[in-house]
Amino acid sequence: MFHGNLTNYLKSILAKKASEDQVNEVLVTLSTFPEKSFIQIEHESFLNLVALKQKKASPRTLHNAILKHLDRFFYLKHLWTGKEVYTYKYYLREISRFIKSGENAVEMLKKENLVFKRTIAERKRLMKALKLTKRQKDLFDVYAEFAVTKAYRRDAQLYWAYKMDFMFSELSKRLGLTFMQSRFLFPWEVARGLTEGLDKDFKKEVRQRTEFCVTYSEKGKDLIFYGSEAKQIEDKLIQHHDGDIAEISGQTACLGKAKGKVKIINSPSDTRKMQQGDILVSIATNPDIVPAMKKAAAIVTEQGGITSHAAIVSRELGIPCIIGTKIATKVLKDGDLVEVDANKGIIRKIK
């Protein structure tokens, strides 16, 4: 909510200083922070691994470089619900896949760094050309910094989630639950289970929670619904849209245009269907689907603002991106041919 309100406020400032067609472009440029995010740092580190292989570095040199990269970034694959982390074999496969694509890692690094430097230079130029007040400049600086700090926050959350797995493993043993079931307990239920144990009826309820549940919290009160009651709540909350909608609009995150086939990508298992040049459509992107994002001709999401994961990654990879469409995954389906005009924030179904 805060980011959305700030975005609208900053747009209102730009609307008085730039033409309507330029507002999105200017906002995207001004939202670029002068320092690289954790996502970009990981991406560049991987490209350096590929560069070593392409330069025919010794096996030991490449081996040590992969281990160093792995030690720093292994947990980024974890997310919230899985126990997987990146492995040595994973990076060997990704290095091989990159080389087979015909791309040159060194040239890609040079190109991306050049684009980044030009964007930062353009940002400085715009700050002066728009004649922003000190307060307005401060707001745009804070706005840009949000994107980077959110990426680092996500990194910390993923590392925390990875470490929490050890606790959940022990909890599942002590409470007689599966690993996944142990993650569907409130803190007070954990305390009760450890001191008093859990009866069969409660364990049955926890099993149902893992199948589908809805939680609601307000003013210190936490409620959880499961089974048919949860499904009824879902039906009331989820909007159903006519598939005949031919045009969707959202907010520009990275400028550009693209055409391609839609692929709905919401989880790591979905990434297998992603082909080079497809249009990636997601409720909201996350670190685990970045490999699929790199193949996309354009990215479209339902959720998120200009400082969201999709916005950050798309700008750093130079991929056209539209965020905050609200209905993209409900209107579009795999195989739909669409045209993405991120300059105007519009997605059109071609057929």
Q: Same structural domain for residues 135 and 10?
A: yes
* pLDDT, position 268: 81
Look up residue 78 and give its amino acid: H
Beta partners for residue 263, in sequence order: 280
Q: Do 145 and 173 belong to one domain?
A: no
Whether 140 and 174 map to the same domain: the answer is no
What is the predicted pLDDT for the residue at 321? 96
Structural domain for 41, as ranges:
1-162
CA distances from 283 to 223, 276, 278, 322 (A): 25, 20, 16, 12
Task: Say yes or no: 48 and 130 in one domain.
Answer: yes
Asked whether residue 276 is domain-assigned, the answer is: yes
**Does a structural domain hold residue 242?**
no
What is the phi/psi pair of residue 279, to 5°?
Answer: -95, 115
Asked if residues 253 and 310 have their Cβ atoms less than 8 Å apart, the reply is: yes
pLDDT digits (tens, 9 = 90+) for 301-341: 999 887 788 988 898 888 999 999 999 998 999 999 999 99
The pLDDT value recorded for residue 5 is 80
Over residues 145-185, the pLDDT tens digits come to 887 888 788 888 889 989 999 999 999 999 999 999 999 99
Shared domain for 158 and 186, answered yes or no, is: no
Look at residue 264 and give its three-state secondary structure: strand
How far apart are alpha carbons 172 and 345 in whole angstroms? 47
Contact 193, 175 (CB under 8 A): yes
Residues 321 and 334 in one domain: yes
Pair 13, 136 in one domain: yes
Residue 31 forms part of a structural domain? yes
CATH code where residue 293 lies: 3.50.30.10
pLDDT value of residue 308: 85
Closest CA to 127 of 116, 139, 115: 139
Tokens of 351: 């057929």
pLDDT score for 228: 94
211 in the same domain as 132: no
| pLDDT above 70 coverage of the chain, percent | 96
Burial class (CB in 10 A: 0-12, 13-18, 19+), 331: buried
What pLDDT shows up at residue 220? 83
Domain for residue 11, yes or no? yes
Domain end: 218, 237, 256, which one? 237
Cα separation values, 327 from 33, 61, 207, Å: 29, 48, 31
Nearest to residue 287, comparing CAs of 322, 313, 248? 313
- 156/178 same-domain check: no
55 in any annotated domain: yes
As for how many domains the chain has, the answer is 3
pLDDT value at residue 243: 61
pLDDT tens per residue across all 351 residues of the chain: 556 688 889 989 999 988 877 888 898 899 888 888 888 898 899 999 999 999 999 999 999 999 999 999 998 887 766 668 889 999 999 999 899 989 999 999 999 899 889 989 999 999 999 999 999 999 999 988 887 888 788 888 889 989 999 999 999 999 999 999 999 999 999 999 999 999 999 999 999 999 999 999 988 889 999 999 999 998 888 776 666 788 999 999 999 999 999 999 998 889 999 999 999 999 999 877 888 998 999 999 999 887 788 988 898 888 999 999 999 998 999 999 999 999 999 999 997
Up-side HSE of residue 248: CA atoms within 13 Å toward CB?
A: 29
**Chosen domain end from 121, 145, 162:** 162
Task: Please report the pLDDT score of residue 241 as a whole number.
Answer: 64
Q: Residue 303, SS3?
A: coil
Domain closes at, from 117, 136, 162: 162
Specify the 3-state DSSP secondary structure of 121: helix
111 and 73 in one domain?
yes
Backbone dihedral angles phi then psi of residue 216, each to the nearest 5 degrees: -140, 130
Residue 38, domain member (yes or no)? yes
- Both 136 and 31 in a single domain? yes
Query: What is the dihedral angle through the alpha carbons of 158, 293, 14, 12, rounded to the nearest 10 degrees?
Result: -60
> pTM of the full predicted structure?
0.78
Q: How far apart are CA 339 and CA 333, in angstroms?
A: 14
User: Do 145 and 202 reside in the same domain of the chain?
Assistant: no
